[in-house]
Amino acid sequence: MRLGHAILALGLLAVAPAAEVSAGPVPVVERSFVIAIDPGHGGDNGGCVAFDGAIHEKDLTLAMAHELQASLLRRLPHARVVLTRAGDETVTLADRVARANAAGADLLLSLHANASGHEPQTGFETYVLDLGLDRREAARSARVEDGAEPTRARALAMVRELALSSHRGRAAGFARRVQQEQAQRFPERIDRGVKQAGFDVLMGAEMPAVLFEAGFLDHPEEGRRLLDSGQRALVVDGLTEAIVDYYREHARER
Ligand SMILES: [Zn+2]
């Protein structure tokens, strides 16, 4: 987290530099908006295996990421949509977050599919980072960066925590919207809701970040649905709508 970024994100810098102040109406400049899509797994890490024993989660998440990218660019032609991996490559969780941070992403959406093991389960769910873990991470990274300078470390930790809380609030709102859009399109499927967890791919992200579990790939019925491009288009459409909604609500205000 860069300090300046954190302060801007919190809207604490209300006064523009004198050189930029001009008389008359202020033109509305559409801000650039960057969305990072993270296709879960990849390369050596296949993720879970589909009901048919052939297709891996990494294939589904990559296909869905490409479909979502195309769909978003149709709705938000001025946005930039970056993928944390473009092909079947092995990428560490830290590198995925680093790529989203380097792209200056406004939002990070990590795509996954579930497997239930013994008890067959179905449904879609969205995860946000657990706030307790968030805070510990904030305090830890402040300590690491500042070493023996306790006052500055405390101040940094506070700014970080404020920024993280703001990101987390937005992430939670976005996660609820993701669930709503899916529930609208799939009223017959189980809405498993928004959950909290300490996923590494959400940790260290300098923007609101959520992880979406599209459904249970190892369940014969739901797995078939996820592998069907027509059905998947509906899933992608729901994600697109949630992101467009997020853009309308947050992207132009900063
Ligand atoms: Zn996964």
Summarised one tens digit per residue, pLDDT across range 196-219 is: 988 887 888 999 999 999 999 999
- Give the single-character DSSP code of 49: B
Between 118 and 83, the higher pLDDT residue: 83
| 237 CA to centre of ligand 1 in angstroms | 20
pLDDT at 103 over 60: yes
In 113-211, alpha helices (H): 131-146, 150-185
| 40 CA to centre of ligand 1 in angstroms | 5
Burial group, residue 189, by CB count within 10 angstroms (0-12, 13-18, 19+): middle
| 222 CA to centre of ligand 1 in angstroms | 16
The pLDDT assigned to 250 comes to 87
Answering whether pTM is above 0.85, one says: no
Number of H helices, E strands in the chain: 7, 6
d(CA 193, CA 182): 10
d(CA 64, CA 124): 15
pLDDT at 51 over 60: yes
CATH topology of domain 32-129+171-251: Aminopeptidase (3.40.630)
Starting at the edge strand found earlier in the chain, the sheet holding 80-83 runs 80-83, 34-39, 107-114, 209-216, 124-129, 191-197
Q: 91 in helix, strand or coil?
A: coil
d(CA 198, CA 207): 16
Q: 187 in helix, strand or coil?
A: coil
The pLDDT assigned to 154 comes to 76
Residue-range domain boundaries for the chain: 32-129+171-251
| 50 CA to centre of ligand 1 in angstroms | 12
Amino acid at 51: F
| 234 CA to centre of ligand 1 in angstroms | 20
Amino acid at 193: G
pLDDT at 71 over 50: yes
Query: How high is the mean pLDDT of the chain?
Result: 84
| 3 CA to centre of ligand 1 in angstroms | 32
Q: What's the rounded mean pLDDT across residues 30-53?
A: 92
Using one digit for the tens of pLDDT, what is the confidence trace for 141-180? Answer: 555 555 546 677 777 777 777 777 788 899 999 999 999 9
Q: 236 in helix, strand or coil?
A: helix
Using one digit for the tens of pLDDT, what is the confidence trace for 9-20? Answer: 333 333 334 444
Q: What's the rounded mean pLDDT across residues 11-32?
A: 51
> Whose CA is closest to 60, among 218, 241, 240?
218
pLDDT at 48 over 80: yes
